[in-house]
Each structure stands twice: as C-alpha cells, then as structure tokens.
Amino acid sequence: MKHDTMPNLTVSLFRDTGLRFLWVSVITLILDLWSKFTVMDKMALYESIQVTSFFNLTYVHNYGAAFSFLHGAGGWQRWFFTAIAVTVCSVILWWLKQTPRQQTLLPVAFSFILGGAMGNVFDRIVHGYVVDFLDFYVNDWHWPAFNIADSAIFIGAALLIWDMLTAKSKDATAENSTESNG
C-alpha cells in the first residue's frame, strides 16, 4: 500500500509547490546548452559574426564570473564558482519545494535563475570555462559577452526585483484598505 502513496506525494509536490515551475529551468537549460554547442560547433574561438550594427555573435571563453571577474586567477576559480553555483541551486530547489501554490512570480524568477546557473555550472564542469557569445556594443564600446544562461539569471533577478517592488505596494494597498474598513 505504501508503494501507491509515493506517486501521489510526488505529483502533489510538483503540483502544489514552486517545483511546478521547474519546466522553466529545464527549457532554459536546454536552450542554453543547445546555443553553446551550436556556437562551439559552427564558430572558431574569437570568431565574430556581425548580426546588426550593435550586435555580434562572438565566441569567447570566460574563465571567471560575471564581467570576467577573476578571469586570470589561475584555475582555482573554476571550482570556487562551481561550488557557489551548486550551493545556490540547492538552496533554490529547497526554497521551491517550500513555496506554497499561491506564489507564482517568485518561483518563476527562481526557476529562471536555477536554469541559468545550471547551464553555466555544466560549462565549468565539462569545459573548465563558460561559453559566451552574445556581444552587444555601441561604436567601439562592447558590453562583456554573455550567453542565454546569463540572460535567464538576469531575467530571474529582474522578476525578483519586480516582485519585491510590487509586493510592497500590494502590502500598502492591503493595509490602507484594512484601515479604511476598520
């Protein structure tokens, strides 16, 4: 009889918690890995293909973190950033499991961050660096190259900020309506 309760518990866990948005992480991870493998297969390292007057596809390796932080640190940063990302992924998964069904924006935001973090962790473990290729620029000024995983992390962070700002205004609105009714 216990055997029958396990599938129900699993279905309930994925239906009634923030884990129901893991599909966002999976799609993010698939798109990220597909794009990176395509770039590695079709382009030479440092090759740049102009797409528009402000955007190139430029294949580079990033041995550091955001904005190439610690890029030339000698190799230890690979495992340092991997450990940080694995820890963050674990905390996000735990948090998603704890999140009630009523919350939607926060678990979606964390699912984007999780998918992006997993994409970059994959790169660090398999290649020893992160594959970047999205290169935006104005005249001779280039934003540091990034990838779909980085974009997903940015989207997740923006959604977190949006939720933080709108949650405060929702709380203030609820407080004002409670005071008006009281």
Q: Tens of pLDDT along 109-148? A: 999 999 999 999 999 889 989 999 999 999 999 899 999 9
Residue 48 forms part of a structural domain: no
Residue 81 forms part of a structural domain: yes
Residue ranges of alpha helices (H) inside 17-147 are 22-42, 76-98, 105-126
CA atoms within 13 A on the CB side of 34: 6
Residue 143 forms part of a structural domain: yes
Residue 2 forms part of a structural domain: no
Torsion of CA 92, 93, 95, 100, to 10 degrees: 130
Residue 167 vs residue 108, higher pLDDT: 108
Domain count, the chain: 1
163 a catalytic residue: no
Q: What is the mean pLDDT of residues 75-99?
A: 84
Residue 136 forms part of a structural domain: yes
* Domain region containing 154: 22-43+54-168
Q: What is the pLDDT of residues 140-176, one digit of tens each?
A: 998 999 999 999 999 999 999 999 998 866 655 555 5
150 a catalytic residue: yes
Residue 157 forms part of a structural domain: yes
Options 32, 123, 132, 135, the catalytic residue: 132
Q: Measured at the alpha carbon of residue 58, what is the angle toward residues 79 and 136, in degrees to the nearest 5?
A: 100
Does pTM surpass 0.75?
A: yes
Residue 16 forms part of a structural domain: no
Options 32, 123, 135, 150, the catalytic residue: 150
Residue 10 tokens read as 């699993």
